[in-house]
Amino acid sequence: MKNVLLIVLSFLVVSACTSKTGKEAKISNSGFCLPDSLLSQIRIDTVSMKPVASELRLIGKVTFDQDKVVKIFPLVSGNVVKVNVSLGSYVKEGEILAVLKSPEMAGAQNDLVSAQSNLAIAEKNYAASSDMHKSGILSDKEFTASQKELEKAKSEMNRTQTVLSIYGSNGPSEYVVKSPISGYIVEKFITENMQIRPDNSTGLFTISDLRRVWVLANVYESDIAGIKENAAVEVTTVSYPGKAFPGKIDKIYNVLDPNDKTMKVQVQLNNDDFLLKPEMFATVTVEQVNDSSMIAIPANAVIFDRNQYWVLVYRDKCAIDIRKIDIATSNTKYSYIHAGVKPGERIVSNHQLLIYNALTQ
């Protein structure tokens, strides 16, 4: 690519004959034409009228979608005997993350065995009482008492089974930690042989579905008036130069941080390809469209030289003019023009500096 451009540049320098009168230069009628090798690489855009749009740049960072984040805390104390996942692992809903040996689980298992035994005895007593009651040997009061004992035994059985189902028993004295959702392990505070106390206030895992993330950006007081909900934005990061993630302002936090006197805004972004990682720094560009319209050209088509702004007006490959322009305002996409070009004219918007240098030799 570089060799091709050098060859083309040499050709242009030798072949181009320019006239430089005042502050405007044009290709002379010397029969010069752009070679096809360069013509196939340049981009040509059409000058048009567009609504004037200014841009506000905000600094922020990528964070979890708080609606899709689950922090997992242990329900019992004990000793960690096994950890099945690591930080960054993808887990499915219901997958076992860790196993603990727990005295509470041992107690719950004993309660279950006791409840099963009591229920069996109560069922036998009730069956015998029922037969004797039908034969008139047992009074109504004694039969009712046996019914109550059976109901009590069933209730205790249900309670112990419910406790074990909540705990997630995996066998005698074992407590299993399962993932309640599918997602990525984004925080992990557990290792094998670690002791978990009953008063532990730190979660074991944090799981997030990273297919959607939030960007939280700071807005200074002087810019608050220009921030509107649902305003279109583009998010860029240093990790992916040249790539913009489109979105909109979903929420405005109508309070100021007392430390830095900024207001936060929230942008939700789809992240199906998982390019955006929590804690990444991000730049949020908010587009603010005015009611007025002006002549607009791509901002990257502008050439700055001799304290003036210029563009290359393309008529055909054998007729390219260097045109001085008067810029009113610019953003990252467009420059808005007072004078110099007209709607409908075509301009060169890449490799224009190469052609400009050749024409002004």
Q: What's the residue count for the chain?
A: 361
- Confidence at residue 169, expressed as pLDDT on a 0 to 100 scale: 65
Residue 14 confidence (pLDDT): 40
Per-residue pLDDT tens digits for 253-274: 989 988 888 999 999 999 988 9
Q: Does domain 71-207 have CATH number 2.40.30.10?
A: no
Domain assignments of the chain as residue spans, ordered by start: 2-51+292-359, 56-67+209-290, 71-207
Task: State residue 103 phi and psi, 5-degree precision.
Answer: -65, -30
Q: What is the CATH number of domain 56-67+209-290?
A: 2.40.30.170
193 touches 80 (CB < 8 A): yes
Q: What is the distance between the alpha carbons of residues 270 and 251, in angstroms, rounded to a whole number? A: 16
**pLDDT recorded at residue 86:** 92
Q: Which residues of the chain have pLDDT under 70?
A: 1-32, 168-171, 198
Handedness of CA 54, 60, 62, 65 (dihedral sign): negative
221 strand-pairing partners: none
Please check whether residue 64 is in contact with residue 213, taking contact to mean a CB–CB distance below 8 angstroms.
Answer: yes
Q: What is the CATH number of domain 2-51+292-359?
A: 2.40.420.20
319 in helix, strand or coil?
A: strand
- Give CA–CA dist 176/187, Å, rounded: 18
pLDDT recorded at residue 10: 47
pLDDT value of residue 29:
33
The whole-angstrom separation of Cα 144 and Cα 183 is 54
Farthest CA pair distance, the chain: 129
Evaluate whether 215 touches 118 at the Cβ level (below 8 Å).
Answer: no
Q: What is the dihedral of CA 146, 147, 153, 155, to 10 degrees?
A: -160
d(CA 232, CA 242): 18
Per-residue pLDDT, 170: 64
Q: Two tokens at 20?
A: 């430089």
**pLDDT, position 297:** 92
The DSSP symbol for 294 reads E
Residue 290 CA to residue 312 CA, distance in Å, equals 28
Whether 71-207 and 2-51+292-359 are alike in CATH topology: the answer is no
CA distance 138 to 42: 105
Helices (H) and strands (E) in the chain, counts: 5, 22
Give SS3 for 155: helix
